[in-house]
């Protein structure tokens, strides 16, 4: 029996190695769980073009939207583990949604493996220019003086913007009123008009209004200052240590995909984001490139999932 088991394991290993050597034997699907035009879709297409260029196989981008990214993510998780179906996901699908949805259709930690993370779109704390708070510490003081007097915008309940604001509340002890919107654009419009007083969001949607002076950046929720915004302090520098929140974008594959394929994808993506032309594009989009191996990525996903799980549980966030 022991010899049979050993033989079976060896056969499985040889089969995986053979699959990896011939990969990709046919065209690849890159599933993007969001509509065309956003950052996730853009990076999905950039990655697809790079994989196609490096392998000589066609890579088809397929947008499968719905349920906060769960529909497309589940489609990847339930696909054959042969490296022919990949997904370009944002971190909410891997680290946040599992705590807020009663039935996602997949378990991100068990059913998906992260092959590469291309980069992140850090969150920044933005307020209207007329708000009498020039720093994050002053904003916190205003919010503490009058609980629930500050309205914070989000791109919807359970979004990264939402959980980021809740994390700020937890770390500082302030209470604010949640005003959810259907996406970032209407939220930015109301922030600009003063209907809401704070938005934790990526830089790109607010860059123009910040440059015009209509909106003010108080801090970046990053560990170090953003290279594109060297004069904007981190949250820790602004008086709120531990306030880290970002959206990152990565390629996933079904669990069981041969490690050799995962490693090959990882190397391709790390080489791609290191290219000067790609760095220029990232800078223009206020993205910061990442370069981690699959084992490091696994820990990042697990640690972030645990952190957001605590926030969701404490504030009772649910999305039906």
Dump pLDDT digits (tens) for 23-58: 999 999 999 999 998 899 999 999 999 999 999 999
Residue 216 and residue 135 share a domain: yes
Q: Is residue 317 part of a domain?
A: no
Residue 41 and residue 23 share a domain: yes
In 184-279, which ranges are E strands? 198-202, 215-220, 246-254
Q: How far, in Å, are 110, 113, 151, 152, 192 from residue 175 at the CA level?
A: 35, 37, 10, 10, 22
Number of folded domains in the chain? Answer: 2
Compute the half-sphere exposure of residue 55: CA atoms within 13 Å on the CB side of its CA.
Answer: 26
Residue 255 and residue 115 share a domain: yes
Percent of the chain with pLDDT over 90: 88
Residue 58 and residue 10 share a domain: yes
114's CB contacts (< 8 A; 6+ apart) are: 94, 250, 251, 252, 294, 297, 298, 300, 301
In this prediction, residue 293 carries a pLDDT of 98
Single out the residue in 168, 200, 220 at which a domain terminates: 220
Closest CA to 167 of 310, 300, 299: 310
Using CA atoms, how far apart are residues 177 and 76, in angstroms rounded to an integer? 36
Query: How large is the average pLDDT for residues 92-118?
Result: 95
Using CA atoms, how far apart are residues 221 and 238, in angstroms rounded to an integer? 10
Residue 21 has pLDDT above 80, yes or no: no
Q: Is residue 58 part of a domain?
A: yes
Average pLDDT, the chain: 93
Q: How far, in Å, are 97, 104, 198, 273 from residue 249 at the CA level?
A: 15, 19, 24, 12
Q: pLDDT tier at 6 (50, 70, 90 boundaries)?
A: low
Residue 186 maps to which CATH number? 3.40.190.10
Residue 18 has pLDDT above 70, yes or no: no
In this prediction, residue 183 carries a pLDDT of 86
Residue 165 and residue 20 share a domain: no
In this prediction, residue 263 carries a pLDDT of 98
Residue 103 and residue 37 share a domain: yes
Q: Is residue 86 part of a domain?
A: yes
Q: State the DSSP H helix or E strand holding residue 41, giving kind and residue range, or none if neither.
A: helix 39-55
Using CA atoms, how far apart are residues 75 and 257, in angstroms rounded to an integer? 15
Residue 74 and residue 32 share a domain: yes
Using omega within 30 degrees of 0 as the cis cutoff, is the peptide bond preceding 24 cis? Answer: yes
Q: Is residue 276 part of a domain?
A: yes
Q: Is residue 291 part of a domain?
A: yes
Residue 252 and residue 114 share a domain: yes
Q: pLDDT tier at 318 (50, 70, 90 boundaries)?
A: confident
b or e along 85-104 (b: 16 or more beta carbons within 10 Å of the residue's beta carbon)?
bbbbbbbbbbbbbbbbbeeb
In this prediction, residue 8 carries a pLDDT of 53
Residue 92 and residue 30 share a domain: yes
Least confident of 39-43, 170-174, 240-244, 315-319: 315-319
**Burial label, 122 (beta-carbon count in 10 A; 0-12, 13-18, 19+):** buried
Residue 288 has pLDDT above 90, yes or no: yes
Compute the half-sphere exposure of residue 193: CA atoms within 13 Å on the CB side of its CA.
Answer: 6
In this prediction, residue 199 carries a pLDDT of 97
Using CA atoms, how far apart are residues 164 and 144, in angstroms rounded to an integer? 18
In this prediction, residue 16 carries a pLDDT of 53
Residue 42 and residue 24 share a domain: yes
Q: Is residue 263 part of a domain?
A: yes
In this prediction, residue 76 carries a pLDDT of 98
Single out the residue in 201, 220, 239 at which a domain terminates: 220
CB 96 within 8 A of CB 164: no
Using CA atoms, how far apart are residues 30 and 289, in angstroms rounded to an integer? 20
Structural domain boundaries, residue 168: 122-220
Residue 258 and residue 200 share a domain: no
Residue 99 maps to which CATH number? 3.40.190.150
Residue 1 has pLDDT above 70, yes or no: no
Q: Is residue 230 part of a domain?
A: no
Q: Is residue 96 part of a domain?
A: yes
- Could you tell me whether strands 246-254 and 112-128 are parallel, antiparallel, or unpaired per DSSP bridges? antiparallel
Residue 157 and residue 11 share a domain: no
Q: pLDDT tier at 22 (50, 70, 90 boundaries)?
A: confident
Single out the residue in 183, 204, 220 at which a domain terminates: 220
């Amino acid at each position: 029996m022991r010899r049979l088991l050993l033989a079976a394991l060896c056969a499985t290993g040889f089969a995986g190695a053979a699959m990896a050597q011939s990969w990709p034997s046919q065209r690849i699907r890159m599933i993007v769980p969001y509509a065309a035009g956003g950052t996730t879709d853009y990076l999905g297409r950039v990655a697809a073009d790079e994989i196609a260029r490096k392998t000589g196989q066609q890579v088809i981008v397929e947008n499968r939207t719905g349920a906060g990214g769960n529909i497309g993510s589940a489609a990847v998780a339930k696909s054959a583990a042969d490296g022919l179906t990949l997904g370009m996901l944002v971190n909410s699908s891997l680290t946040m949604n599992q705590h807020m949805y009663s039935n996602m259709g997949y378990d991100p930690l068990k059913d998906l493996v992260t092959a590469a993370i291309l980069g992140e779109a850090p969150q920044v704390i933005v307020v209207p220019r007329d708000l009498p708070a020039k720093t994050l510490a002053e904003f916190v003081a205003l919010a503490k003086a009058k609980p629930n007097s500050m309205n914070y915008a989000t791109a919807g309940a359970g979004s990264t913007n939402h959980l980021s604001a809740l994390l700020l509340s937890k770390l500082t002890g302030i209470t604010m009123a949640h005003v959810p919107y259907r996406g970032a654009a209407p939220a930015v419009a109301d922030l600009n008009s003063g209907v809401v007083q704070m938005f934790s969001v990526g830089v790109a949607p607010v860059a123009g209004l910040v440059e015009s002076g209509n909106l003010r950046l108080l801090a970046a929720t990053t560990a170090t200052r953003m290279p594109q915004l060297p004069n904007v302090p981190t949250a820790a520098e602004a008086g709120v240590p531990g306030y880290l929140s970002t959206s990152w974008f990565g390629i996933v594959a079904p669990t069981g995909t041969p490690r050799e394929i995962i490693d090959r994808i990882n190397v391709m993506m790390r080489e791609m984001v290191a290219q000067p032309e790609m760095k220029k594009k990232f800078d223009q989009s206020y993205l910061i490139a990442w370069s981690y191996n699959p084992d490091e990525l696994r820990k990042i996903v697990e640690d972030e999932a645990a952190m957001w799980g605590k926030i969701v549980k404490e504030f009772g966030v649910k999305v039906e």
